[in-house]
Amino acid sequence: MKISVIGCGYVGCVTGVCFADLGHEVTLVDVDPAKLRAISAGRSPIYEPGLEDLIRKNRDRISATTDLRAAIRSTDITFVAVGTPSQEDGAIDLRYVLGACEEIGQVLKDKDTFHTVIIKSTVFPGTTKEMACPVLEKASGKTAGRDFGIGSNPEFLREGSAVRDCLSPDRIVIGADDPRTAGILSDLYAPVGSVVLVTPVTTAEMIKYTSNAVLAAKISLANEIGNLCKRLGVDSREVFTAVGMDGRVSPAFFRTGIGFGGSCFPKDVRALVAGARACGEDLKILRAVLEVNEEQPKKLLSLLRRHIPDLQGKIIGVLGLAFKPDTDDIRESRAVPVVADLLAAGAQVVAYDPAAMENFRRVFPQVGYVSGPDEVLGADAVLILTEWREFEGLDYRGRIVIDGRRLEKARAEAMIYEGVCW
């Protein structure tokens, strides 16, 4: 099949390259020529384990262009995978999705063959049917379901293991209101061999938001209990290991610490809360999930102040800037508020991250970035913000360590050790 993917970021690039690996001809489209140049040269435009190898392996089947119109004309199916950031009030910003749909629609106007448009970006339930589809119909002068196909195919990959998640997902959700679109997507995904759920379009969108809401809620619940555990001298890890053994509860994602970040959980939970409010529903639990998450990084600073009350002029080392290990993504990383608070308190920040320093430097040029984690250990105190595996191998003896991610070696060795929830 000839596939185009609009938006060549963490989702679009991985999805497109994985489709190429399944044998399809893929055209990747982005407005950022640097990303496209990287792909054309056989390099990955993002830090994602295994992606560059897959780009090189499938080079003959992948092309990269800024010409969206040519990409639509030369392919049969288009996945829209552009960003859906938050607006000021937390509601979803649809300008990239609807902008792409407008342009796709203009091309479909003159296209004779049946084309299928799939919204892969995470969007509020109802967006594909009530917003994207009317934009496509108006721009093309055609009717969805009859003249072109439209559907939803939310993405569940995790940065850091995106290639594996994409090629062997837990499940594939296809949202389609017409049988032709459902059939095209089902055939496309059949070789993946995972469970495929075909649902109405709006249900598929709701499944994605609900998945992220459940995972975020699990983390904030774990953090609330973890905060209490710390006060009571109870080890929260022991608690959650035992709780997770209950057949009705999975042990996954009971992660205590400084909370969740990244490009999905915070923005998607905010969008769900804001969208629900607009429909007259107040999602109280999810509001609390966000509130707990905002408070967790502040706990790290108050633990640090127990040992160094005045941070003015002190050198504070930071291990980890990415929102999670194995990515260079710093969107909504918990390191952002922590470093901002340290700088506001007059501390000198020295930081190391194996992949995310370049991205972090654009936001915080005043931080001292060092070339190895050992250089961070010489600071007056060390904060652990991301659980990169290489931090497990460091020598923490004689150090003051405030840990937001529970590194067992630091816990065992540090002269003074404080964990956020344990």
Q: Which stretches of the chain bind ligand NAD, using CB under 6 A?
A: 6-12, 29-32, 35, 68, 81-84, 96, 99-100, 121-122, 155, 157, 159, 263-264
Strands 400-403 and 416-419: parallel
Dist. CA 278–CA 299, nearest whole Å: 33
Distances (CA, A) of 166 to 10, 131, 161, 330: 11, 27, 9, 21
Q: Which residues are catalytic?
A: 264
- Closest CB 226 distance from ligand NAD, rounded Å: 25
Chain Cα centroid distance, residue 90: 16
Residues 6+ apart with CB under 8 A from 110: none
- Closest CB 395 distance from ligand NAD, rounded Å: 33
- Closest CB 165 distance from ligand NAD, rounded Å: 9
The residue (of 28 and 350) whose beta carbon lies closer to ligand NAD is: 28
Dist. CA 388–CA 328, nearest whole Å: 12
* Residue showing tokens 């969107």: 331
- Closest CB 283 distance from ligand NAD, rounded Å: 18
The residue (of 48 and 380) whose beta carbon lies closer to ligand NAD is: 48
Sign of the C-alpha dihedral, residues 41, 47, 50, 51? negative
Sign of the C-alpha dihedral, residues 287, 337, 219, 160? positive
- Closest CB 285 distance from ligand NAD, rounded Å: 21
Supply 280's token pair. Answer: 């007259």
The residue (of 173 and 377) whose beta carbon lies closer to ligand NAD is: 173
Dist. CA 24–CA 27, nearest whole Å: 10
Dist. CA 39–CA 7, nearest whole Å: 13
The residue (of 85 and 145) whose beta carbon lies closer to ligand NAD is: 85
Return the amino acid letter for 367: V
The residue (of 13 and 349) whose beta carbon lies closer to ligand NAD is: 13
Dist. CA 21–CA 107, nearest whole Å: 27
Helix (H, G, I), strand (E, B) or coil at 13: helix
Closest residue to ligand NAD, based on beta-carbon distance: 9
The residue (of 81 and 206) whose beta carbon lies closer to ligand NAD is: 81
Helix (H, G, I), strand (E, B) or coil at 160: coil
Supply 104's token pair. Answer: 């796709």
The residue (of 12 and 325) whose beta carbon lies closer to ligand NAD is: 12
The residue (of 45 and 373) whose beta carbon lies closer to ligand NAD is: 45
Sheet architecture: strand order including 148-152: 62-65, 25-29, 2-6, 77-80, 115-119, 148-152, 171-176, 195-199
Half-sphere exposure (Cβ direction) of 147: Cα atoms closer than 13 Å: 16
Helices (H), 109-161: 127, 133-140
Half-sphere exposure (Cβ direction) of 237: Cα atoms closer than 13 Å: 8
